[in-house]
Amino acid sequence: ETGVTQSPTHLIKTRGQQVTLRCSSQSGHNTVSWYQQALGQGPQFIFQYYREEENGRGNFPPRFSGLQFPNYSSELNVNALELDDSALYLCASSEGGRRETQYFGPGTRLLVL
């Protein structure tokens, strides 16, 4: 059984650019959630995908968007990057409809200059 993987591990972008982050969920998990974690803070929920449909969204603007594929892997896209988007982006997978047990990936560290 493979765990949650994310790519890339680190990324540097400039303001105004666009970025795509990728996540492969743990085997058997059909739900993927994305979080943004700024330095010194807890993870903030961005959105969740369940069986390829968005299923809940946190307080993030529309320039944060995502996709989930038939194999339940997922992408997070951020357009028009801002300096404040610099953070650790975490992906977590879970078995939809079960207890709130999520399995997190190692994250992607994004730096916006």
Partner 1 sequence: LAKTTQPISMDSYEGQEVNITCSHNNIATNDYITWYQQFPSQGPRFIIQGYKTKVTNEVASLFIPADRKSSTLSLPRVSLSDTAVYYCLVGDGNTNAGKSTFGDGTTLTVKP
**Footprint of partner 1 (CB under 8 A):** 4, 31-33, 35, 40-45, 48, 50, 55-56, 58, 88, 90-92, 94-107, 109
- At its nearest, how many Å lie between partner 1 and the CB of residue 77? 19
Element (H, E) at 67: strand 64-68
Nearer to partner 1, 28 or 40 (CB): 40
Nearer to partner 1, 74 or 85 (CB): 74
CB contact at 8 A, 20 and 11: no
- At its nearest, how many Å lie between partner 1 and the CB of residue 79? 23
How is residue 17 written in tokens?
Answer: 């650019």
Nearer to partner 1, 19 or 91 (CB): 91
How is residue 50 written in tokens?
Answer: 């369940």
- At its nearest, how many Å lie between partner 1 and the CB of residue 97? 6
Buried-state track 74-104, b at ≥16 Cβ within 10 A, e below 16: bbbebeebeeebbbbbbbbbbeeeeeeebeb
Nearer to partner 1, 76 or 107 (CB): 107
